[in-house]
Structure 1
Amino acid sequence: HDQLISGIDWSARSNKIVTASHDRNSYVWNLEGSEWVPTLVILRLNRAALCVQWSPKENKFAVGSGAKTVCICYYEQENNWWVSKLIRKRHDSSVTSVSWHPDNNLLATTSTDGKCRVFSTFIKGVDAKNDNKKDSKKSTSSDLKFGELIVQLDLSSSWTFGVKWSPSGNTLAYVGHNSMIYFVDDVGPSPLAQNVVFRDLPLRDVLFVSEKRVIGVGFDCNPMVFAADERGVWGFVRYLAERKTVSSGSRYGSQCKKTEEVVA
């Protein structure tokens, strides 16, 4: 790379590193002996690459960019190189983060257009088709076309960042630059969304540490802990550096609603 490296991810099983940069390139790094050797990935971008993440099966990775485009990259065995398929004309601004669903096919994105979206990334010849006859009546992510938009969430009035799936893939969380964090269940035509409002500086990223607990980090320099109670209602619990639980008061609030009105 010859410009700022904006994203990096490591594949634990195959021991590969992928990087993305403002130079519009991405490299896959393989350990050969004692040295990491880079292989250029064909992204076909005209703007900076901003984020990158391996898929759970490590046979694909996604690159978000300032070109309003997401590149889904995979290894082409015949030509011995990494190529990409592009999800175009779906975002109205830069793609700030990407996150893979545990099924290896659905991909969530956030953008500076204020929206969170979920796409199908099924690639014939790379991903296995679901041939389970018992589930034949149910639509699965492998039945969807590449680049198909599953849902578009218009919950935030500002830039959105840091999208993540829960370990089961049942809950989606992301943050807005308006000091709010969003939790979405039943991702699909009629998702159930909640938001937690706080007066601290905005968060930039989140991490599920369990199915019902999330850590958020951002501009306040102090990680925040959020959790869902027995009813499934999310709320702020405490700062990570504090031992005492902070009671919900005027500084924090949560809302829960069906999102028919905010799903495009």
Structure 2
Amino acid sequence: MWAARCNCKYFGSRFASKFRPFPPPPPYHPTALHLPSPPLRQFAECITCHAWSPDHSMIAFCPNNNEVHIYKFFTDKWEKLHVLSKHDQIVSGIDWSRSTNKIVTVSHDRNSYVWTQEGHDWVPTLVILKLNRAALCVQWSPKENKFAVGSGAKSVCICYYEQDNNWWISKVVRKKHESSVTSVAWHPNNILLATTSTDGKCRVFSTFIKGVDTRGSQASSSTDWKFGEQIAQLDMSSMWAFGVKWSPSGKTLAYAGHNSMIYFIDDVETSPAAQNLALRDLPLRDILFLSERTVIGVGFDCNPMIFSADETGLWSFVRYLDERKVTTSTSRASQLSEALGKLYGQSKQAAGSDTVEPSKPRGGAHENCITCIVPLRKGNDSIVKRFSTSGLDGKIVVWDSENHIDIAK
């Protein structure tokens, strides 16, 4: 089922471990998941990205233009409170810090702003990125003392606040990527940063900045990693790579490929072990760890997918999250489609060793590609029980899995 057909480069003797091939997993029978119809709202014709306030009472999103709209929920309806319109081109990334209540935005205009709420207004502060191409994604670090910006300039900017000069500046990781950086993800230790790129590779870097980080927060006390040092390069996808994420503990790294594959890598820093899972339908654009052994993937199928790892650490597809009840006639048609899908899947399995997932029922909360998935965390809880998705259909859907889904811890 699993194939370790990946070409991964590790730098230094401690990263010279080879991947361990995995035997086929035993049949997996997940606990039935019963979710109510998710609450959704049509905010715009198309949504590029979104983020939530720390108390989840407000939401910020880009309606596929140069603005960021902030809505607040009052009793039974959403009302627009603010429009952040400092950018000149499409806003491609938004992140809202949980402890400092600051919003960071990036845009195709190559600029980034940190927005601070002063009274009833949001005041922008320009961040010096030093980019000659569009900024594509952004994320605050776990300690929120810096943030990472991926760009079309084949580089990543690590931005931090310089108290002496009262401004946000950046240090750039250059000459590591061969194409645009599509996503960034911080390790829980606040030092390591994972990136994906349209060159098909996933990379892990050190972002240690003297005066901002402390040596004790590094992942390994035996090695002093310098800023921009490449810890690992994963050459598993032959196509564009998207949506990289770390598990809550930082032990597992996962990302998606445009070849309808999802990749899981354990122990990236020491003895890496990789698993590849092939999807039956369209590729994913973003993923989210609900726990150490449960992942939600979203993308071109317009329906979130649930993946889970068993006790041995082997990952498999569980089901589509937004499945709908079908009539008898539709059910018969689905059975025929499923039979054809199985036949097609068998032909694909004969050609390779990766798992091929069955076809899914069409229709659901989203009607177009889902491009963004955001957790709604409660305090320091490591298990995500609520999350939201947005996409090209202009909808933002909130999924509440608490008491309705058996999340593998």
TM over 0.5: yes
Which residue of structure 2 lines up, in the alignment, with residue 163 of structure 1?
A: 244
Matched, 1:200 2:286: no
1:91-138 deviation digits (Å, cap 9, x = unpaired): 000000000000000000000000000000000000012299xx99x4
1:79 correspondence with 2:165: yes
Unmatched tracts of structure 1, length 5 or more = 256-264
* CA apart distance, 1:243: 8.3
**Matching residue of 2:179:** 93
Is contact 1:194–1:254 with CA below 8 Å preserved after alignment? no
* Correspondences of 1:92-171 after superposition (within 5 Å): 92-130=178-216, 138-139=221-222, 143-171=224-252
Contact 1:70 1:88 (C-alpha < 8 Å) held by counterparts: yes
Structural mapping, 1:1-264, within 5 Å = 1-130=87-216, 138-139=221-222, 143-188=224-269, 190-242=271-323, 250=345, 253-254=354-355
Using a 3 Å threshold, how does the CA distance of structure 1 residues 147 and 80 change in structure 2: closer, same or farther?
Answer: same
Instruction: Show CA shifts across 1:214-248 (max 9, x none).
Output: 0000001011000001110001000001389x9xx
Cα distance in 2 for partners of 1:206, 1:51 equals 14
- Deviations, residues 138-196 of structure 1 (Å, cap 9, x unaligned): 425xx200000000000001000000000000000000000000000010354100011
3-state secondary structure, aligned to 2:124: strand
CA distance in 2, matches of 1:6, 1:211: 28
The answer to whether the Cα contact below 8 Å between 1:202 and 1:218 also exists between their aligned partners in 2 is yes
Relative contact order (C-alpha < 8 Å, sep 6+): which is higher?
2
**1:64 and 1:12 mapped to 2: Cα distance?**
21
Question: How many Å apart are 1:21 and its aligned residue?
Answer: 0.2
The answer on whether the counterparts of 1:151 and 1:189 sit within 8 Å (CA) in structure 2 is no
Question: Secondary structure of 1:110's partner?
Answer: strand
TM-score (norm 1): 0.89
In the other structure, the counterpart of 1:260 is: none
Q: Structure 2: how far apart are the matches of 1:86 and 1:43?
A: 8
- Could you tell me how far apart the structure 1 residues matched to 2:323 and 2:225 are? 45
Query: TM-score if structure 2 supplies the norm length?
Result: 0.58
Structure that is richer in strand per residue: 1
- Following superposition, the deviation at residue 199 of structure 1 comes to 1.9
Counterpart code for 2:121: E
Percentage identity across paired residues of the two chains: 75
Q: Distance in 1 between matches of 2:193 and 2:317?
A: 27
Q: CA deviation at 1:31?
A: 0.2
Gaps of 5+ in 2: 1-86, 326-337, 357-409
Q: Secondary structure at the match of 2:268?
A: coil
Q: Distance in 2 between matches of 1:29 and 1:111?
A: 27
SS of equivalent residue, structure 1 residue 146? coil
State the one-letter code of the partner of 2:287.
V
Query: Residue 130 of structure 1 aligns to a residue in which SS?
Result: helix
Distance 1:131 1:35 in 2: 35
Moved beyond 2 Å, runs of 4+: 249-255
Amino acid at match of 2:180: S
